Every structure is written in C-alpha cells, then in structure tokens.
Amino acid sequence: MTAHFAKVPAVLAAVALAGPLSAERLYLDDAAACDRVLISEDGILDYAAEGGLILDGSGFSSLEYFCSFQPALRLDWSSHRVSDHMGRCELPGPQYYPQLFTVVLDPEEPGTVSIWTGEAEPLRFYACAS
C-alpha cells in the first residue's frame, strides 16, 4: 500500500512542473471542488484522500487508486480529438487491471477531458484555473 502513497506526490509534482498538461491547470473529476482544492496548501492531498481523482499527463489517481497510460496526454481543444492509450489501473493489495483508455477532447467543452474506460459513461475531468 505504500506504493500508492508515493504516487500522489508524483501527481502533485506533475501539476507543478511543465509537461504534457498545462502547468497552469489542475484537472479534477469534480469541477465544484476546484476552489476548495486551490485555496488550501494541502488541498490536492486532501482531495485525493477523500477519493477525488486528479488527472495528470500520464494518468489519474487518488490516494488508494491509480491508473496510468501511454502515450501521455496532449490537450488541445482546437478540433474534436480522440486518442487511445494503453495502461493499467492499480488498487490496494496490490491488484492490477490492464485497461484501454479512449480520451475525447471536444472543442465545444474546452477544459473538459472525457476518458472512456468501457463503462456506460466516461470519467470526466475539469480544468481548474490556478
């Protein structure tokens, strides 16, 4: 289980450093949580501890759940974009599940990242302005 805790700081670092995702943006699975997360020094860690998902260029995670994928995300809403990414999800135990992720970027919803995982509805992540 220690490996899961080590991945959250990696997510925090990815948000702070320039990379495939915009360094000025934080992506959460709950747009309403953006203000609460951004005003607190420990906001991202608290959000992850509550089970909230945080997206970075190589996947998404919370404190006890992590999904990674390749290739890294390149976010561009200039046109409708669909990309496939191979990866895996990890749960405590550790338990690993191979996964195919289909990422959709719709110019009519800039700042929203939809990730299809085979469920009836996609996971959605929303850009928070920092």
In sequence order, which ranges of 17-118 are alpha helices (DSSP H)? 34-39, 43-49
For residue range 47-69, what is the model confidence (pLDDT) as tens digits? 999 999 999 999 999 998 999 99
Lowest mean pLDDT among 18-32, 48-62, 88-102, 109-123: 18-32
Q: Where are the extended beta strands (E) located within the chain? A: 25-28, 54-56, 59-61, 66-70, 81-91, 95-105, 112-116, 123-129
- Output the pLDDT for position 9: 44
